[in-house]
Every structure is written in structure tokens, then in C-alpha cells.
Amino acid sequence: MSATPSRPSAADAPETSATDSATDSATDSATESAAETGTETGSGDRRRVLLAAPRGYCAGVDRAVIAVEQALEQYGAPVYVRHEIVHNKYVVKTLEKKGAIFVEETGEVPEGEIVIFSAHGVAPEVHKEAERGKLATIDATCPLVTKVHKEAVRYAKEDYDILLIGHEGHEEVIGTSGEAPEHVTLVDGPDDVANVDVRDPEKVVWLSQTTLSVDETMETVDALKGRYPNLLSPPSDDICYATQNRQTAIKQVAKDADFVLVVGSPNSSNSVRLVETAIAHGAKDGRLVDGAEEIDESWLEGATTIGLSSGASVPDVLVDGVLEWLAERGWEDVEIVQPVEERMQFSLPKELRRDLRAEAAARMTG
């Protein structure tokens, strides 16, 4: 029941363009399974799995992972990646086996090598460090994160105080703040609003990390507006479509679930938020697991209906493993819960269309 994530369209499409793609095959096969067994949501006390859709890889993650794979194919190993390309242990280990080397800082990359910037984005200073190190770079920043970066630059130029809603220390927050450090103030949830201080209450705008809980973000915005009634909102929602869609789906699953399992790594913000969202919207309990091997059977004692989803950086093979684990223990019926369609793709980074090895060699001799 494994599935291959959808692949971006031709690499020469505009970098920030988005087009529709089909729902993943794992969802299709599970839908067929549910239809064959004649299952219906809410029926009896039989054991069943409510499988949230959309789930798993979003367009930005798919783009970033393929960028590393294609760079390895085009240029050969090693290819260096600054920070985890996406927040998922399985994905990182798989790419390491193929020849990717993950580093914490750009300075760890030898001169003349290729370095890929992760989907979470980097501050302008990181680009300068790469240039000083004569590195060839591939920017795999999610286009939706890039949008927030551009908003920060724009509002800084207009001399706004920018209130960035996000989690301290998250790579995305560090990258966005780095675009305009003198203008950005981090607001880490509604409890942090009382600590905010701005120069001019009439010239304040809020932006946000793209992977937050929609509900908590709006709670923070409401609290900020209580202090700053003229607080300006970004021209379009900063919470990414995939985060919103996965939270919408898990809310619907949670209403009927005795227990919710979310597949994802602990350092994945959007995965953690899915567990929190499920419990807040009716699930009796829930856990985050990297894979089936982390499930404790005692969690499921007395549970009839199990909700299942996965974070935006999780390949479907890990969800398939959980479904197999559950089926072996009696949860064989799988019902798809899909309140929203998701059909999004991003084209690959433009740097993959060039001969980066040749460019790096030219820098070394130049």
C-alpha cells in the first residue's frame, strides 16, 4: 500500500508557480479498501481506522527532498545540506545513505562544494557565508516561506514593527527574522503578547511561521489586536495551505476517534501541532510517533476507533507501516476522512538547471 509522492512538473516552470496534482495513491488504495468492506463512519463497535486526508508530504517538502535527490544524481556525492532538509528522521537517514551530508553551519562545508539550504529557509547572512566560502548553493526553501521572507523585507522598508508569531529557535523563525532583525519581534504564543513593545502602535504588522496551529495563531493575533487595534495583517495567510488542510482533516477525524496517532518526528512543528489539534477537538488522547515501531499497544487499550494522520514532512511509507501494524491487531477497516482536496506542486529550484560543479570550480580558480 506504499505510495510514491507526486513529482513536480517540468523544471523550467517558474520557481514559485503552483499547479494541481493528483491525490496520492495510498489514499486511493485505502478508499478502495473501505469501499470493498462496506464500512461507514460511525457504525457499531468494530475496530476501524479513520485515515485523515490530506496528510504526509506537502509540495514544499516534496520539492526539497527531490532537490537533494536530483543534486546527488546530477553532481554525485557528496552534496552538503545545511540543517535537516525537512524535519523527519527517516527522510534524513535515507538521504544520508545516498550521499548527502548534513551540517549545522555553512562554515562546515569545504570550499568549492555544493550546499543545499533546507525547506525552512535561511537568513541573508547565510547566503553571504556561502559566497565567502566559494560554495555553489541550491536554495530549497519552500516558496511559501520565501513569501513570508519577502513580506518581512517589504514591511521593514516601510519602517513597520513586525510581530513574528512563531516558536523561538525554529529554523524558519531564525531565517525570517534575519531578513529584518532590527524590525522583527518574536511573539511565541498568546501568553507572550504582554511582553511585546513597539515604537509606534499605529504602524505594526503581524507575520507568522508557516507551520503553526491555525487556532493558536489566531488566538495570538486576537490578543495582539487587543493591545494594538490598528494591527495590520499580511496580504495573504502565512499559515501554509498544507498545515491548514492537515489540521482541518484531523479536526474532523478527532470527533469520532478514541485515540489519534500522528506520524512525524518530534522536531516537526506541524506534526506536533496535529496531535495538539486532535486532542483539542475531541480525541480522547493522541501520540506522535516516528513509525510503527514506536507504538505502545497499551495506548490503544479500550479503543475502537483510531485516527491516523501524518505531518507534512512524512513519506507515506511510514503511514503504510502504521496501517499494517494496526491491521495485524484487528484494526483492518480503513475509512478515508477527506474534508478538503489538495492539488499543489512547486517546480524545482532553478539552480538544478545549471552545472554547479563547474561554477564552484570557477570560483576556486577565480
pTM here is 0.84
Query: Sheet harboring 48-52: ordered strands across?
Result: 286-289, 259-263, 305-310, 48-52, 333-337
Task: Give the pLDDT mean for 43-63.
Answer: 91
Q: Which residues make Cβ contacts (< 8 Å) with residue 36, sequence separation at least 6?
A: none
Predicted pLDDT of residue 43: 45
Domain with CATH 3.40.1010.20 in the chain: 18-58+241-337, 144-227
- Supply the pLDDT for residue 4: 32
Q: According to the model, what pLDDT value does residue 325 have?
A: 98
- Helices in 178-293 by DSSP H: which ranges? 214-227, 241-254, 269-280
Q: If you average pLDDT over residues 321-341, what whole number do you get?
A: 97
Give residue 200's pLDDT: 97
Annotation: CATH topology of 60-142: Rossmann fold (3.40.50)
* Banded model confidence at residue 236, pLDDT cuts 50, 70, 90: confident
Which CATH code is given to the segment(s) 144-227? 3.40.1010.20
DSSP character string of 147-175: HHHHHHHHHHHTT-EEEEES-TT-HHHHH
The predicted-structure confidence for 23-32, as pLDDT tens digits, reads as follows 344 444 444 4
Residue 298: how many other CB atoms lie within 10 Å: 6
Distance CA 297, CA 275 (A): 18
pLDDT of 27: 40
Cis previous bond, 78, omega within 30: yes
Cα–Cα distance, 216 to 165 (Å, whole number)? 10
Q: What is the pLDDT, as a whole number, of residue 44?
A: 54
Least confident residue range of 37-51, 162-176, 209-223, 251-265: 37-51
The pLDDT of residue 160: 98
Q: Which residue has the higher pLDDT, 360 or 288?
A: 288
Calculate what percentage of the chain has a pLDDT beyond 70: 87
The end-to-end CA distance of the chain, in Å, is 52
Q: Is 309 a residue whose pLDDT tops 50?
A: yes
**Grid coordinates given for 77:** 556525492
Length of the chain: 366
Q: Please state the separation of Cα 230 from the chain's center in Å.
A: 31
Q: What mean pLDDT is predicted for residues 334-361? A: 87
Is CATH 3.30.200.20 the right assignment for the domain spanning 18-58+241-337? Answer: no
Residue 360 has a pLDDT of 67
Q: Where in the chain is the domain with CATH 3.40.50.11270?
A: 60-142
Per residue, the 3-state secondary structure of 184-201, as one string, reads EEEECCHHHHHHCCCCCC
**Residues with active-site annotation:** 172
Q: What is the pLDDT of residue 355?
A: 74
DSSP string, 282-313: T-S-EEEESSGGG--GGGGTT-SEEEEEE-TT
